[in-house]
């Protein structure tokens, strides 16, 4: 009897080696934007006219009132109101009138600025 043929075993197909994993490139760091220039401190707002004590025509009455003034960019007082009364409404009214006559240094703020001023009334 004839000898059976040997089974045919297919030759293994050569496999290409799998490529080594490549590192993912990290993004280059972006330079930080330059810092913003410092904002200059606002110039102080100072009283330049009508700043002294108020005397005369007060019939011997004296007092101290604290008045909040609103100052325009040009330095003019555009509003004034009593924050702390002298205890006498007539003196308070004189204090408001005196505050409205004050003139302050000009400023470059976008809005009106407010300050409290001490008004000494009387002798």
Q: Write the pLDDT tens digit of every residue in 22-68.
A: 777 777 788 888 888 887 766 788 889 988 877 766 678 889 999 99
- Domain count along the chain: 1
Residue 94 lies in a domain: yes
Residue 56 lies in a domain: yes
CATH of the domain at 79: 3.30.1150.10
User: Would the pTM count as exceeding 0.75?
Assistant: no
Q: How confident is the model at residue 18 (pLDDT cuts 50, 70, 90)?
A: low
Residue 67 lies in a domain: yes
Beta-sheet strands, E only, within the chain: 47-49, 63-71, 77-84, 103-104, 113-121
Residue 25 lies in a domain: no
Residue 91 lies in a domain: yes
Could you read off the pLDDT of 76-101 as tens digits, one per residue?
A: 999 999 999 999 999 999 999 999 99
Phi, psi of 87 (to 5 degrees): 95, 0
Residue 26 lies in a domain: no
């Amino acid at each position: 009897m004839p000898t059976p043929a040997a089974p045919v075993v297919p030759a293994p197909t050569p496999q290409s080696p799998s490529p080594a994993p490549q590192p993912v490139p990290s993004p280059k760091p972006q330079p930080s934007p330059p810092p913003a220039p410092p904002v200059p401190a606002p110039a102080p707002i100072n009283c330049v006219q009508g700043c002294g004590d108020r005397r005369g025509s007060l019939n011997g009455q004296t007092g101290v009132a604290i008045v909040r003034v609103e100052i325009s960019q040009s330095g003019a007082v555009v509003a004034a109101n009593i924050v702390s009364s002298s205890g006498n409404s007539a003196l308070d009214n004189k204090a408001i009138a005196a505050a409205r006559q004050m003139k302050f240094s000009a400023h470059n703020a976008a809005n009106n600025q407010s300050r409290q001023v001490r008004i000494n009334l009387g002798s």
